[in-house]
Chains A and B, each alone.
Chain A
Amino acid sequence: MEKDEFYIGYSTEHPVKTMRFLKFFITILGIVVLGVAIIFALGQKPFKNSTFELGSLTEVEGVLHLTPYPFLRTTLADGASKDILLLGFGKFGATKGLQKIFENKNPQGMAIRLNGTLIYYEGKTLLQLESDVSGTYTLLGKTNTVSTIKEMGNVSLKGEVIDPKCYFGVMKPAFGKIHRSCAIRCISGGIPPVYVTMNAQNEASYYLITDEKGEPIHDAIIDYVGKPSEIQGKLVDLGDWMQIRLNPNTIKLIDQNSAIY
């Protein structure tokens, strides 16, 4: 007669056939576990080579500009100028940090040497200020700034509103559905909203979004963050960055997946 095997967990006797069967099953399961890990890993879309130099501070020198959003105009070795967008620590804009440095004085046109964390991707550079700015800067004196703004007329664009801090380096992926909550936090915390478009050759263009008068907007654009949309507005060339001036109520959402992969 066949042995009637019965497993009792606390017993030291173990039914031989059951254990043999389980050894086989667990081996197969181990292979499945590895297989699932490989499939999940391979299934991920390619990540961008954007960079956030977490943990390493860089000193940059330039002239502060406040509009439309705070940036530092620096001069490169070849004489060209580069505008570095300034951001606060965490999910905040640079305003608080600048207020702390300048108190009631106007920082516009102030030459400054500033320590912060670099974020960069596709030729755009951003700098995160430290959470405590004291001791991270040297003021170098006031300069006269010349406006380089060129109005380029009306345009309509198709793309997505993103938060540039995460998009240009801090997080991956930093657009679309997965990242929407975070982008909403960042933009409502004062980080400038940026519009990304993608042409047929998969080349991206970036635009700082402001209202029609060129003033910063944050909360008014929250409903459109991380969703494909169509916008119309006035294009302005700021020098290193483009700006789009629009009325947020005229943004049209498009019912499709994020196109900036």
Chain B
Amino acid sequence: MGLDYQLVLWNKQKKRYDLVLFLFIVIYLLGFAVVTFTTNANTSLETLIIRAFGSLAILMLHIILMIGPLTRIDKRFMPLLYNRRHFGVLMFLMAAVHGVFSIIQFHTLGNVNPIVSIFTSNLDYNSLTNFPFQVLGFLALIILFLMAATSHDFWLANLSAKTWKALHMAVYLAYTLVILHIFLGAFQQETSPLLLGLVGLGATIIVALHIFAGFKEVKVDQAKVSEEDGWHYVCSVEDIKENRAKMTTCAGERVAIFKYEGKLSAVHNVCRHQGGPLGEGKIVDGCITCPWHGYQYLPGNGQSPPPFTEKVETYNLKLVGNKVYIDPKAHAPGTPVDPIKI
């Protein structure tokens, strides 16, 4: 599907997704403002904006980071992944309102450049309690900006999937910086246990979900492979559901073995679009369909149907009785391999 980074286009589903996001943002900001004005009316408008948008951004970041592991734990979360980039860009915008307002409020109209001031006003870099926490927020915002700016598939196509993926893994760095930004910053002074408890709980949920989902995958990677003349044993035919795949690991690479129309075919597990797990996809209209954004590949040769040009590696399989074996040597992407008949 390569001609066309536009392929993942606007559709009803995406509009609904965006509408829900928009609604959540309004609910949050209104909720924060109404509660602050009714219980703590001496606030200043600037502080209200800085705090409402800062706390909204961190909440959104938590939800975004939860979607990944949730989809690996339960496939029904998959639609949340589909339009996650809008979620990410909106989160960046919320964080940017917070950051820009903070810079205007605390650093403009002074005797040095505002950006220089972020780094040089508080110089206690060697103290934890006095640490210049705004620097951490600033670095996080830069990372989030780079991610938002390159989130379009245009960049994916032009940066190579590996670079893009690496860039987008930096969200974990940004998350760590933000958590430090809060705990070394606002929470040194705004010490309510409500706040500390809430953000602590959020971070715990993120870590726990990732560990839990990670375990599920490690199990696939470490499943014992027994060898026979260089062929790896995978499973028996009955272990694979019709139109679905079984994943295995060959020479450190994950491979997906699909069963369909009484045949078996094996392809490399990694979707050429954004690295989605093809093995969690399904055969739809005769094509392996990626669970993330629906890119498609023909099981017999690992190629996207024309006019698209994506290709993934293919593998040889053999059947002994009802036992499925795979040759761990990958063929070049797009190499036709005859499916084996069951």
A18 to B43, CA, bound (A): 44
B271 to chain A, nearest CB (A): 13
Q: Is A12 interfacial (CB 8 A cutoff)?
A: yes
Say which residue of B9, B43, B56, B191 sits within 8 Å of A47 (CB atoms). B43
Contact: B82 with A7, CB < 8 Å?
A: yes
Find out whether the CB atom of A44 lies under 8 angstroms from the CB atom of B130. Answer: no
Contact of A258 among B110, B117, B189 (CB under 8 A): B189
CA distance A237 to B219 in the complex (A): 76
When the two chains form their complex, are residues B44 and A186 in contact, meaning their CB atoms are under 8 A apart? no
B-side contacts of A36, CB under 8 Å: 28, 55, 59, 198
Given that A9-B8, A48-B42, A257-B189 are known contacts, is A26 also in contact with B198, CB under 8 Å in the complex? no
A22 touching B79, Cβ below 8 Å: yes
**The residue from A22, A39, A42, A181 contacting B121, defined by CB atoms under 8 A apart:** A181
Specify which of B7, B24, B118 lies most central, judged by the most chain A CB atoms within 10 Å of its CB: B24
Q: Are B198 and A39 in contact (CB under 8 A)?
A: yes
B66's closest neighbor in chain A, by CB? A29
Q: Chain A 28-44 against B: per-residue CB contact (8 Å), 1 yes, 0 no?
A: 01100110111111111
The interface size bin for chain A is 35 or more
Shortest beta-carbon distance from B218 to chain A in Å: 25
Query: Is the CB–CB distance between A41 and B79 below 8 Å?
Result: no
Contact with B along A180-212 (1 / 0, CB 8 A): 111011101100000000000000000000000
- B47 CB within 8 Å of chain A: yes
Contact A180 B122 (CB under 8 A): yes
Q: B291 touches which one: A7, A10, A46 (CB < 8 A)? A: A7
B294 near A90: Cβ-Cβ < 8 Å: no
- Hey, which chain B residues are within 8 Å of A69, CB to CB? none
* Interchain CB contact under 8 A, B111 and A92: yes
Known: A10-B11, A171-B105. A42 touches B190 (CB 8 A): no
Instruction: Flag if A39 contacts B83 (CB, 8 Å).
Output: no
Bound-state Cα–Cα, A246 to B111, Å:
25
Contact B27 A33, beta carbon cutoff 8 Å:
yes
Please tell me which stretch of B31-39, B144-152, B207-215, B260-268 contacts chain A, meaning at least 4 of its Cβ atoms lie within 8 angstroms of it: B31-39
**Does A82 touch B at the CB level, under 8 Å?**
no
Contact in complex: B78, A18 (CB < 8 Å): yes
Q: Shortest CB–CB separation between residue A121 and chain B, in angstroms?
A: 11
Instruction: Report the nearest B residue to A227, measured CB to CB.
Output: B130
A185, B110: Cβ atoms under 8 Å? Answer: yes
State in angstroms the CA–CA spacing of A45 and B192 once bound together: 8
B106 (CB) vs chain A CBs: closest residue: A182
Please report the C-alpha to C-alpha distance between residue A222 and residue B189 in the assembled complex, in whole angstroms. 20
Q: Would you call A18 and B36 a contact (CB within 8 A)?
A: no
Asked if A17 CB lies within 8 Å of chain B CBs, one says yes
Q: A47-B44, A90-B108 are in contact. Are A177 and B189 (CB under 8 A)?
A: yes
Residues of A within 8 A of B29 (CB): 37
Give the docked Cα–Cα distance between A40 and B134 (Å): 19
Q: From residue A2, how far is it (CB to closest CB) to chain B in Å?
A: 11
Whether A46 and B40, one on each chain, are in contact in the complex, defined by CB atoms closer than 8 angstroms, is yes
User: Once the chains are docked, how many angstroms separate the CA of A172 from the CA of B40?
Assistant: 12
What are the residues of chain B within 8 A of A21 when measuring CB–CB?
76
Bound Cα distance from A14 to B11, whole angstroms:
13
Residue from the list B9, B28, B39, B109 in contact with A89, Cβ < 8 A: B109
Interface assignment of A70: CB less than 8 Å from any CB of chain B: no
Say if the beta carbon of A178 comes within 8 Å of chain B. Answer: yes
B188 at the interface (CB under 8 A from A): yes
Please tell me if the beta carbons of B185 and A177 are within 8 angstroms of each other in the complex. yes
Closest A residue to B242 by CB, please name it: A4
- Min CB distance, B154 to chain A, in Å? 18
Query: Cβ of B195 < 8 Å from any Cβ of A?
Result: yes
Within the complex, the shortest CB–CB distance from B65 to chain A, in Å, comes to 14
Question: Inside 8 A of B293's CB, which chain A residues have their CB?
Answer: 9-10
Q: Give 1 or 0 for each of B45-59: 1 = CB within 8 Å of chain A CB.
A: 011000110011001
Closest 3 CB pairs of A and B: A90-B109, A37-B31, A41-B35
CB pairs A–B below 8 angstroms (12 shown)? A9-B8, A9-B13, A36-B28, A37-B32, A38-B31, A44-B51, A47-B44, A171-B46, A177-B129, A177-B188, A178-B185, A185-B117
Given A37-B31, A41-B35, 17 further pairs, Cβ under 8 A: A10-B9, A19-B79, A33-B27, A36-B28, A40-B32, A47-B42, A47-B43, A47-B44, A89-B109, A90-B108, A91-B109, A172-B42, A172-B43, A177-B189, A178-B188, A185-B112, A255-B129
